[in-house]
Amino acid sequence: MSTLLIIIKILAYILAIGILGLVVFVYLPLYVFQERLLFLRTNTNPQLLMAIQKNIKQLQTVNLQTPDNVNLQGWLVNPPKEGEKQPLLIYFGGNAEDVMTLIPVMAKFSTWTVLLMNYRGYGESEGQPSESAFYQDALQLFDHFSQQEGIDSQRIVLMGRSLGSGVAVYAAHQRVAAGVILISPYQSLVKVAQQHYPIVPVSYLLRHRFESEKRGAEINAPLLMIAAEHDEVIPISQSLDLSAHWAGKVEQVIMQKVTHNDISEAVGYWQTIERFLNNFQRPDS
């Protein structure tokens, strides 16, 4: 056997050992523990909640039991008064976000009832988070509250931020929404992860894919897409591409000089959302 052949065999052996080590010590843990890495759960701050409840009077605590016996907990902001029909804004939060913190700002949309529900495993909601569970719960929330006496089922707008944009897109694809608001949305979580970790075979490892672009191409509801100019988590190109493939009418707004986490602090952020919601006011309201 030639020296060259021996060297080639040794290198091939070393390469095989390296690949095996990469799979066992890097890729396998990423696959097994991806829920812990992907879903950054939060706990509700009881002192902050008490302060909010003291200052916001138009607030109703909501508990909803799922078909698999998981209790979801959240709030209705500006619940409809007796004899009234209110439009409904359903908000799906971002990762590591306790939607409770949005109660004060959502209370300012006084002509809208706003549903803020924490995902499974987030806040005071029970259960374990997963893509399929989020989808199941989103449809149950839509169906349950659209049938409430004080809700105008023809004026339901779905709003999702970051991780929640995928949940909002899914719900809008499965149900008829009057409009959709997406904050820092992505084409799919696979594409987001691939851009951050180009050497990892993400498409084979990621079970929770949130394929929004394919669904958006079949949704005719008008879309307001808001992205951050310097988003370091979800590339702005993904947000623009998603909205470019949306089937319905699209308004794109880029918030200047902000990043992924402080986009809601940008000048004009909440005003832009309010202006979009005003499109769904009844002529006599």
Contact criterion met (CB below 8 Å) for 167 and 134: yes
Phi, psi of 153 (to 5 degrees): -65, -15
**pLDDT score, position 230:** 96
pTM of the model: 0.88
C-alpha–C-alpha distance, residues 21 and 12, integer Å: 14
**One-letter identity of residue 216:** G
* Average pLDDT over all residues of the chain: 87
Phi, psi of 188 (to 5 degrees): -165, 155
**pLDDT score, position 39:** 81
**pLDDT score, position 276:** 98
For residue 119, give the H/E element and its range.
Answer: none
**One-letter identity of residue 206:** L
Burial (CB count within 10 angstroms: exposed 0-12, middle 13-18, buried 19+), residue 65: exposed
Q: What is the mean pLDDT of each run of 10 residues along the chain (285 residues)?
A: 50 43 42 62 89 92 96 96 90 93 95 96 94 97 96 97 97 98 94 77 73 96 98 95 96 97 96 96 60
C-alpha–C-alpha distance, residues 52 and 36, integer Å: 30
C-alpha–C-alpha distance, residues 155 and 153, integer Å: 5
Q: CATH assignment of 43-278?
A: 3.40.50.1820
**pLDDT score, position 61:** 96
**pLDDT score, position 38:** 74
Closest CA to 178 of 279, 66, 105, 60: 279
| pLDDT tens digit sequence for 102-114 | 999 999 999 999 9
Residue 163 to residues 1, 95, 157, 258, 271: CA-CA distances in angstroms?
57, 6, 17, 18, 22
Residue 138 to residues 67, 126, 189, 190, 272: CA-CA distances in angstroms?
13, 15, 18, 21, 25
The count of other CB atoms within 10 Å of the CB of residue 41 is 18
* Secondary structure class of 12 (helix, strand, coil): helix
**pLDDT score, position 29:** 43
C-alpha–C-alpha distance, residues 136 and 161, integer Å: 18
Closest CA to 39 of 103, 115, 134: 134
